[in-house]
Structure formats: structure tokens, C-alpha cells
Chain A
Amino acid sequence: MSGRAGPAGLAWMQVRALAANTFREAVRSRIFYILMAFAVAMLLFSAVMSLLTIGSRAKIIIDLGLTITSFITVMTAIFVGIGLVYTEVEKKTIYNVLSKPLGRAHFILGRYLGLMAVLLVNLAAMLALLSLLLLLFGGFTWALFVAGAFIYLELAVLTAIALFFSSVTSPVVSAICTLAFYLVGHTSSAFLESLAPRLGSPAAKSAAGWLFHLLPDLNVLNVTNLIAYDIPLASGFATRALLYAAAYVALLLTAACLAFSRRDLV
């Protein structure tokens, strides 16, 4: 039929359509604007705090601003991500979608990319405001956007974790599990590094090592302090972080696709 995409273009067109729809869903929801308003208020608060604190005003704005930016976008990733698949099944909107010539993996990928696009807009808006504040108060640095890129990598991993859980379980369980991954991801490396030398048996040391490699190490993706205090990133740091995040995302999305492809949509 004329006007129909070929097999090669069809999958990409479907993924883009699903991503665009996910994006549209987010930007047409009230919660999106409430979160953005909250983010703006918190960033302005960081500027006010810098006026009341002893020390470099720019560093405080950067440190506090990036922490707020990271926190709000992470919460968006987790709490929107946990509903990406589940709500489609629960609201039965998925019946029409999956009756089309569409692979379930494309559905997962489209939903993931849609939320990543939403998070990119959130992050860009918050970084733009932060830049504006730093231009007003002095201390603007392009390194802010390097920190933003690392936050985005962390969001990519967390969204993939939330999406994986969304494809296999309920939002409450997904939220608990994803938040647990987030907390463990920021504490596991320090905890296991300090624990390993104290472990006596080689088996326990080996187990701690495996656990260290298995659990996500989100500190690898956290450069807020380095940026705030002008500490240069080590050579190859960014490449390693990018590869680490990409591997984690690929693994989680594959697991989500496999789990979802076996699921009956009752």
C-alpha cells in the first residue's frame, strides 16, 4: 500500500510514535507542571540560601542547585517510570497498541525513550534556570552542563530499573524496589569497600566482590561535588561512566523486554 513504511523503517517509526505519545502524556498532565514549579521554587531557594551562608556563593548555588536538580529529576524518573508499562495494562490502553504490527520490545523501547525525552526537557529547563541564577549572582561555569550530562546518565539507569519493575510487578512494589536500588546504588560501593577487608573467609570476600559488581554503583555517575569545587575529572572518567550506564541500561531493557514478551495480557 502506498504511504506505508518499509519493514526497516516501520520499527523505528513505531518506537518514535510510542515515545512521542509518552512525551505527550507527560506534558499534558498536571503533575508535570507541579513538579516543574516545585523545581523552580527549590532552585530559587538555593539562591536565597547562598545569600545567607558563609562561603563562595556560586559554589553553594551550584552544589545545592545540582542536588535539587538531580533529586527532582530522579523522583520523576522513578515515579513516572514505575507506571510506564503497568498503567497501560491496568487502563487496558495496551490492547489496541499491541494488536497492531508491533513487537513488545518496541513498546518497551518507545516508552523508555519517551520518558527519557521528558527527563531531558526537565533537566534542560532546570539547568537553564540554574545558569541564569549563576549569571545573575556570578560564577557561571559550562561545567554545569557536564554535571547535567552525568545526572542524565543516572536518570537513564534509574528509568530502566523502574521500567523493568513496571513490566513485571505493581507500582508499589516497583517504587520500593527502584528506590532501594537508588539508595543502594549510592551507598553500596563505600559500604562494600569498607566491609571487604574485614571479611575473614575468601568466600565472603568473593561474595562481596560479586555483589559490588552486580549492584549499580550510581556514585560513578555523580560529579556534583567535583564540579562545585572545580576538581577536574580524571582521564577516561566520562567514557567509563558512559559505558557503565549504557551496559546497565541495555541489560535492564533486555530483561524488561524478555519479561514482558512472555506476559499474557488478560
Chain B
Amino acid sequence: MGGPAIEIQGLEKTFTGHLSIGRIHALRGVDLSVPRGVIYGFLGPNGAGKTTTLKVLTGLLRPDRGTVRLLGAPAGKRDTRAHIGFLPETPYFYDYLTGAELLRFFGRLHGLGARTLDEKVPALLKLVGLEGRGNLPLRKYSKGMLQRAGLAQALLNDPELVILDEPMTGLDPIGRREIRDLILSLRTQGKTVFFSSHILADAEMICDEVAILVGGKVVQQGSLEKLLGSDVRFWDVALAGCPEETRGWDGAELITKSGDQMLLRVELEGELQSLLDRARGAGARVVSVAPHKASLEDLFLSHMPGGDA
């Protein structure tokens, strides 16, 4: 199967309420292309249509219009699903099973034999940080542990494409870092990871490419480098020992002042050097100079209502 890992063209999905009252246009013509071997962030505010898109990818929903191909094959087909791993948003599992039983059950649905599962289940439990917890019933798992079990079941079939719906939800900072590391290791293994999230910091840290979905349409997609650029947008300069009468310097915006300490912001590189020279000349000490590039959050917010896009 060749081509991009995910290729979506003109995807539309509308939900109709009871008695055909209240139509919700969840997806209004989504176009998306996800290359193979990358970590791809599918970002958007709540209600943007991220989960709906993921459910179409995994065959849980049928599209009204458009084409969806995964690994070069039509989405939703059984053969296609054999090559993907999926973690739904807030995974719900059979709480009467233990973690190990859950993985064995899903392994059987993938057609894995008992001997393969004997090796695979403990290895996966270890990989997601649930080593020694496999015999505990899922009803005793915390939210974070359930998320890890969900990740383990998504990797049972050694998938080429891993689709994760909000994988960081419910995890503490340590857990989030572990899952980030796990996602990075999947890319190292040559897998494509497509994950939806509204936690932009996580996405910015690990994604090669992102798409931003707003109101059921992709408003921007591409590599982070292309979307954010590498130019510094402004510098924050922290000074100490400033003369008492100083209220700031031309070309620099005063952010805050406390005693003899000041935080100033300059947008042009030439003004930065001038500011530093003048501050030193006035007897002030430069504590720090922090360059700020455009962040994913800036980009994301620029597409929100009231943003400056």
C-alpha cells in the first residue's frame, strides 16, 4: 500500500437529531494529507470535528461525502483496520477484565495466537508503564492507567499507522512525558502517528506537522517549521540596578517595573542592541535577554474567533 498515510478529500459529515430536527454540520469539507513516518498533530478547539474525523478514519462513522484513504486503501475496510492502531478519546473498557485480559481479548480480535500474546502482552504492559499491574481489574485502574492500557491495545498489532484521540488526557506531567517519549519512539520505528489534541504544548514539542481544524474545516496545515517560521518575533530584556528615575527607553515597551528591576520588550534586533548599550551606559545590569518565536498557541489562537488572523 503506497501513498500518504492518511489522505482525506472533501470529507463531510452531518448529524441529524431525532425526527430530523437539529442538523449539525460536524465536518464541512475536510482536506488533509498526512505523509508517512511523521508525528502529525490534529489540533482544534472542542467541537471542531476532530473526534468525528477520527471516527470516520476508523470506520465507526460513515462519511456523507468525500474520500478517505489510509495507507493507500479505503478507510473503514477490515483489511485497512488490520494495519492501524486506535486509541479513542477517554477509552472505555470492560471493567470486569484485568489489564492483561483486555490486551489478550483485543489481540484475539487481531487474530494473534496464544503464544504470540504470551510474549506481547507483558512487553506492552511494560512499554506503557503498567508492568506488574496486568492482573489488576480495570475497575481499579486510575484514569491515567486506563489511558496507558488504551495505548497498549492500540499497539498490539504492530500498526503502521497509530491514531490517537487526545492521548495525553488524564495523565499527570510525568505520564505525559512518558507518552510523548513513546510517541517519539514510534516515529523512530517508522510508524506514522496521527493524534488529536488541544494541549498545544505537547503538540509543539513532538509534532513534525500539524493541521488546525476549526468549525469542521482545516484552516491550516503543514510542517511546524513552515507554519511558525524561525524568525524571532520579539525579545524580552530583564534589567536590574536601573536608576530610580528611569521610566523606560525609546523603542522598548515597558512590561513591568519593580524597584530597580524592569522587564522590557523590543521587536527589532537593532533596537535590542541600542537598548542594551543605553541600559549599560545608565548603570543598569542585564539579567537576561529572551528571544520569542511564534508559538503554536499564537498560530492556533489566530484562527479562533477574535484572533488576529
Contacts and interface: CB of A to CB of B under 8 A. Distances in A.
Interface of A: 1-6, 9-10, 13-14, 16-18, 21, 24-25, 28-29, 91-93, 95-103, 264-266
Contacts of B55: 95, 265-266
Nearest to A5: B111
Which 7 residue pairs across A and B have the least CB separation, nearest first?
Answer: A3-B116, A17-B108, A5-B111, A101-B82, A99-B86, A100-B109, A92-B92
Contacts of B25: none
Interface stretch (B93-101, B194-202, B227-235): B93-101
A16 B55 CA distance: 26
Question: Secondary structure of the A side of the interface?
Answer: loop
16 contacts: A1-B158, A3-B115, A4-B112, A5-B113, A13-B111, A28-B96, A93-B93, A95-B88, A96-B91, A97-B109, A99-B86, A101-B110, A264-B60, A265-B55, A265-B60, A266-B55
Contacts of B96: 24-25, 28-29
B138 to A, nearest CB: 11
Nearest to A107: B109
Most A Cβ at <10 Å: residue of B78, B82, B113: B78
Contacts of B117: 3
Given A28-B96, A93-B94, A99 B58 contact: yes
Contact of B110 (A21, A91, A100, A103): A100
B61 interface: yes
Nearest to B120: A3
Contacts, number: 95
Given A4-B113, A5-B113, A265-B55, A14 B92 contact: no
A264 B108 contact: no
B175 interface: no
Give the size range of B's interface with the partner.
Answer: 35 or more
A91 B91 CA distance: 10
B116 A93 contact: no
B112 A16 contact: no
A99 B101 CA distance: 18
B61 A265 contact: yes
A17 B59 CA distance: 21
Contacts of B108: 13-14, 16-17
Contacts of A96: 86, 88, 91-93, 106, 150, 153
Contact of B113 (A3, A14, A91, A265): A3
B107 to A, nearest CB: 9
B62 interface: yes
A217 to B, nearest CB: 35
A18 B109 CA distance: 8
Contacts of B61: 264-266
A3 B120 CA distance: 11
Contact of B109 (A1, A91, A93, A101): A101
B92 A95 contact: yes
A191 B78 CA distance: 48
B284 to A, nearest CB: 60
Contacts of A92: 88, 92
Contact of A10 (B86, B88, B94, B111): B111
A44 B92 CA distance: 41
Nearest to B94: A93
B25 to A, nearest CB: 14
Contacts of A17: 105, 108-109
B81 interface: yes
A63 B90 CA distance: 51
B15 interface: yes
Contact of A91 (B58, B59, B92, B105): B92
Nearest to A4: B111
Interface string B109-150: 111110111000000000000000000000000000000001
